[in-house]
Amino acid sequence: MIEINNLVKNYGAKFAVDDISFKVEKGEIVGFLGPNGAGKSTTMNILTGYLSSTSGEAKVGGIDILENPYEAKKLIGFLPEQPPLYVDMTVDEYLNFVYEVKNCKLNRRKHLEEVRQVTKIDDVKNRLIKNLSKGYRQRVGIAQALVGNPPVIIFDEPTVGLDPKQIIEIRNLIRNLGKTHTVILSTHILSEVQAICDRVVIINEGKIIADEKTENITRAVEDNRRYSVKICGPQREVLSALKSINGVLSAEVTGERELDSYTYRVEAERGVDIRKPIFFAMSEKDWPIIGMEAVNMNLEEVFIRIMDGSLSKQ
């Protein structure tokens, strides 16, 4: 449904996008994951025809966006990083305006009502956009993307700036859209792709460094378990006791201290559950464990693992 081949975009000597290729099949929800400045927005803006590429091709539904922008754009609903809202319009006026700009042929009243219901903005349809909360504005942004019922939906960082409740609502909305649409969304948050996407394309400094099913990424992130353990006892002795436990790969003090306890970061060898051995080793010495929690990898660590090959591309 979407095909990007050897896409390049440079600004002078700076390569915002540096030879990117990937495909998205019909019905997939793909997360485009990378830190700020990785090239996510640039790629999405090229894919949606907002920006020209330096070289390479981008196709939607088999149509080249450069050769036939009008036909290609009809297949795409786009929520840019900064949604193009006219804040002096009411929600209803704005959606009618979008309907006309897109030259939509669907039954106007029925279609716009459907779009408002899907995005849950029906109750604010007569409000001025400038008086809406950030969460509602984002929904209006999503609603404009859905006008015309395009089969492909592209969202650039759809949950940035929202509060936790709004984030959950928007994620649910996107997951539901994914049942009937092909979706690409960009994010710099690993847990966001884990919550929404079937597949993850990871981009860093303009290059794709991984293209994986989400479940593989999740397994890799959780596989090499690390724990943050709070233990009461003499720091150096506790540390050397932790290091001598079978299955412990490494242990270090985090610097956190609370009364007579210190927090240790302990990493287990692959596939070994070290929680019980830690408990028994500490209880033997009468050093109480007063806290233990798993620490998952963050995006930067996932990157490092991919780069050094320990998280394979497969």
Question: Which chain residues interact with ligand ADP by CB under 6 A?
Answer: 11, 14, 16, 34, 36-42
Residue 161 vs 291, nearer CB to ligand ADP = 161
User: What is the token pair recorded at 45?
Assistant: 């803006």
Identity of residue 139: R
| Alpha carbon distance 245, 260 (integer Å) | 22
Q: Considering only CA atoms, which of 146, 152, 147, 127 is closest in space to residue 137?
A: 127
Residue 54 vs 235, nearer CB to ligand ADP = 54
Residue 233 site contact among ligand ADP, Mg ion, none (CB < 5 to 8 Å, cut-off depends on kind): none
- Rule CB under 5 A: say whether 159 interacts with Mg ion: no
Please list every residue from 252 through 281 that binds Mg ion, using CB under 5 A: none
Specify the stretch interacting with Mg ion by CB under 5 A; choose among 33-41, 106-114, 125-133, 142-150.
Answer: 33-41
CB-neighbour burial class of residue 237 (10 A; exposed 0-12, middle 13-18, buried 19+): exposed
119 three-state secondary structure: coil
Shortest Cβ contact with Mg ion: which residue?
41
Identity of residue 151: P
User: What is the token pair recorded at 238?
Assistant: 């506790």
Residue 85 vs 160, nearer CB to ligand ADP = 160
Residue 42 site contact among Mg ion, ligand ADP, none (CB < 5 to 8 Å, cut-off depends on kind): ligand ADP
Residue 41 vs 48, nearer CB to Mg ion = 41
Among 41, 48, 53, 144, binds Mg ion (CB under 5 A): 41
| Alpha carbon distance 33, 35 (integer Å) | 7
Please list every residue from 173 through 212 that binds Mg ion, using CB under 5 A: none
Closest distance to Mg ion from the beta carbon of 169 (Å): 22
Q: Considering only CA atoms, which of 207, 86, 91, 77 is closest in space to residue 155?
A: 77
Contact (CB, 8 A) for 42 and 17: yes
Closest distance to Mg ion from the beta carbon of 157 (Å): 6
Closest distance to ligand ADP from the beta carbon of 14 (Å): 6
Closest distance to ligand ADP from the beta carbon of 53 (Å): 12
Residue 24 vs 46, nearer CB to ligand ADP = 46
Neighbours of 254 (CB within 10 A): 12
Q: Considering only CA atoms, which of 313, 256, 252 is closest in space to residue 290?
A: 256
Q: Which position has the token pair 């019922």?
A: 149
- Binding stretches for Mg ion (CB under 5 A): 40-41
